[in-house]
Amino acid sequence: MHSSILKRTVLAAGSTLAVVALLAACSGRGNDTSAGSTTGSTGASFSRMAIVTPATEADHGWNQVGLKDAQEAADNLGLKLDSYPNVGYDNPETNIEQAAKKSGVGFVIAHASGFGDAAAKAQANTGVPVLVTDYPSKQVPGKVGVITFSAEQVGYLAGIAAAKTTQSKKLGVAISADDVNWYSMSGGFAQGARSIDPAIQIDVAYISAAGYDDSKGGKSIVQQLIAKGDDVIFGMGDGATVGYVAAVNDANASGNKVKYIADIGDVSDLFTSKDALLTSALWSFTGTYEQAVKDIKAGTYAKKPYNLDLANGGMLLQDTPNLTSDIKSAVKDATTKINSGAIKVDQAQTKDQLDKILAK
């Protein structure tokens, strides 16, 4: 989204929560010096934070939500946010270091799993704490924080919704890239769906090793899934999501009744029919960003990974008019049981591990 504010409703921890979301990311001002601000280590005070992302908010996923949640966190903390979107992967160290060197900046979010090594080098060169994703081994207390994800949990809830919606008893999963979180959510999705119907068919299609933003490839693989008779599609893609949704829109326009489940962000504006979007497996970074800043200022930064899960609201299922009361009740029950440990969702981190879950 751009400058508008959209209210999204989500299902999490057994209740319906209203969350103000999708604020556009704003860019920082020039190299002004803020009186009394210091940067460079935990325990410091600072007036600005920054986020560096590989693509833009137009992906309706990873980048959209990272930018939006960083702005929300900055607003809540009374900080200015400097945004550096669409930097790609060619030279992230330079971009992260540039963000860290700006006067008043005391925290930089390096919002891509592929930015981990570059962020660590930039932190060593500038002394400004950075936050990376996915790999706990990269954590350096006081310097490099890591966000991890229990994406299998929200995938499980999405699987319940899909299994209670399908008419063909065939579900499709579209995966854009070789990504640990895509495997995790897909594995959770399969387990959730089979908790409702153990015999349900689940087809998986892949774009490529790094097809995150391949909209054309995304449309092609979803068309293949629909041709197999899959009438609920769970798509993981970032920019490829635009292609996924286009295929679903085309199918519904031609008379097929296909539902779509999105991931990470809100994609409702992409649909030509309001009936097509079943839900989205939403991720929320706002609370984690706020906690990271508080920890930096308290001198306790990066003592352990910052995990997003159902219990802390980092993972949540979007409420839509297409979720029936039966689905909502089942999701509520499963959420409570996952949080209590009564349901344990296996986490797939590789394609081989996902294949083993699918083969059960």
Report the C-alpha gap between 273 and 59 in whole angstroms. 20
Query: Please, what are the averages of pLDDT over each run of 10 residues along the chain (360 residues)?
Result: 29 36 29 34 81 93 96 98 95 97 97 95 97 95 97 98 98 96 98 98 97 96 98 95 97 96 94 94 98 96 97 96 97 98 97 96
Pairing between strand 306-308 and 144-149?
parallel
CA distance between the termini of the chain: 40
Taking a C-beta distance cutoff of 8 angstroms, is the pair 138, 146 a contact? yes
| Angle between helix 351-359 and 180-196 (nearest 10) | 10
Predicted local confidence at residue 218, as pLDDT: 98
Question: What is the maximum span of the chain, computed from C-alpha positions, in angstroms?
Answer: 64
Query: Under the phi-then-psi rule, with left for phi > 0, alpha for psi from -120 to 50, and beta for the rest, what region is 312?
Result: alpha
Q: Which residues contact 146 (CB under 8 A, 6 or more apart)?
A: 131, 132, 133, 134, 135, 136, 138, 139, 302, 305, 306
Predicted local confidence at residue 45, as pLDDT: 84
Report the C-alpha gap between 351 and 128 in whole angstroms. 36
Predicted local confidence at residue 31, as pLDDT: 30
Predicted local confidence at residue 22, as pLDDT: 27
Burial class of residue 296, CB neighbours in 10 A (0-12, 13-18, 19+): buried
Distances (CA, A) of 137 to 1, 185, 356: 34, 21, 26
Place of tokens 């299998």: 152
Neighbours of 357 (CB within 10 A): 21
What 35-40 contacts at long range (C-beta under 8 Å, 24+ apart), as own/partner pairs, is 37/103, 37/104, 37/106, 38/106, 39/100, 39/104, 39/105, 39/106, 39/127, 39/128, 40/106, 40/126, 40/127, 40/128
Predicted local confidence at residue 8, as pLDDT: 31
Predicted local confidence at residue 285, as pLDDT: 98
According to CATH, where is 3.40.50.2300 located in the chain?
6-149+284-308, 151-283+324-359
Which fold does the domain 6-149+284-308 belong to in CATH? Rossmann fold (3.40.50)
3-state SS, residue 281: strand
Report the C-alpha gap between 310 and 316 in whole angstroms. 6
Report domain 151-283+324-359's class: alpha beta
